[in-house]
Copies of this chain bind each other. A is one copy, B any other.
Amino acid sequence: MGILRLSHAEVRVPDLELALAYYTEVVGLIETERGVGPDGGERAYLKAWDEHQHHSLVLVSAPTYGLETLGFKVEHAADLDELSASLADAGLEVARHEPGSLGAGSGATARFVAPSGHTVDLVHGMEQVGNSLPLHNPPPAPADLIGMHPPRIDHIFLLCEDVDGVTSFFRDVLDFRLTEQILADDGYQLATFLERSHTPHDIAFLTGPNGGFHHVAFWVDDWNDLRHAADTCAYHGVTIDAGPTRHGATRGCGLYFFDPAGNRNEVFTGGYHFDPDDEPTTWTEAEMGRAIFSYKGQVDPRFMTNHT
């Protein structure tokens, strides 16, 4: 089977307490544990309310902001062996880690550095902590949710120099499916959208510096939740970067804003079901503005360059 979906992101923040206040009270994630990472640095583990696993976001105390690692969940333990073999065949070094050895709750992990410069973990068996609803006769949601309270992580958007090459790697070696692409007039890929969960994207790449981090997105259930998220930002004085708006690519709707460290967040909803035999959609360079922001039809240069 292989990769199921985006599992989690580890994000650097210089002020862990401030970031934690933001992610729990504004975004409305749930802190599951505090601890130290394998490097001895302080960490906070967070999950969205409807996730069952130990964490989908790890805040890593660090001198600056940015992405530390991202993780994909695989279905079977054996997928780690198969994908590790594929990665090795592709010439990459893969490090295997026992459950718990990469921090609190961590599962069996195959870690590698992708050609995009990002450290990627393939994970099986992360500790399950439940979604805080009872397993018998549950209500549709806990009553004490605050902030934007997205139910789960959705996708991650990264930057890299060679979008064509990185996209081929994710398709050929990790079996991702291309759903959409923005093509430059001279034919190379300006941006690509890739999925394993039959949605518009689990991961996307935009032309930029290797290792660049554009945003991590959490799912919300509808357009009304996006207004609630925007009201929540306004209420707390959180800087909104863009939205609520619709994207041309993915057809989804989103709101972008920044955590106190400067990492961009999105809450996202909508989009479509993607079958493996569906054709990808292509956007031309002239329509890139509309591909990203369907309503404005243009992209603020800051949106393309302000990344971490």
Contact = CB atoms under 8 A, between A and B. Distances in A.
Interface in A1-42: 1, 4-5
16 contacts: A1-B1, A5-B198, A50-B273, A52-B275, A52-B277, A52-B278, A128-B279, A136-B283, A136-B284, A139-B231, A221-B222, A222-B223, A223-B223, A230-B294, A230-B295, A234-B290
A248 B294 contact: no
Nearest to A75: B276
Interface residues of A, number: 64
Interface in A168-213: 197-198
Nearest to A233: B295
Interface string A41-59: 0000000001011000000
- A interface majority secondary structure: loop
Nearest to A294: B234
A195 to B, nearest CB: 12
A125 B151 CA distance: 34
A224 interface: yes
A75 B136 CA distance: 34
A251 B283 CA distance: 36
A248 B128 contact: no
Given A52-B275, A137-B287, A275-B52, A231 B246 contact: yes
Contacts of A143: 235
Contacts of A251: 140-141
A102 interface: no
Contacts of A296: 240
A165 interface: no
Nearest to A253: B227
A99 interface: no
A274 to B, nearest CB: 9
Contact of A275 (B4, B224, B235, B246): B4
A260 interface: no
A165 to B, nearest CB: 23
A128 B233 CA distance: 31
A84 to B, nearest CB: 19
Contacts of A103: none
Nearest to A128: B277
A130 B275 CA distance: 12
A140 B246 contact: yes
A270 to B, nearest CB: 7
A64 interface: no
A246 B227 contact: yes
Interface in A268-307: 270, 272-273, 275-284, 287, 290-291, 294-297
Leading 3 A-B pairs by shortest Cβ distance: A222-B222, A140-B251, A137-B287
A244 interface: yes
A231 B252 CA distance: 12
Interface string A216-257: 000101111001001101110001100111101001010000
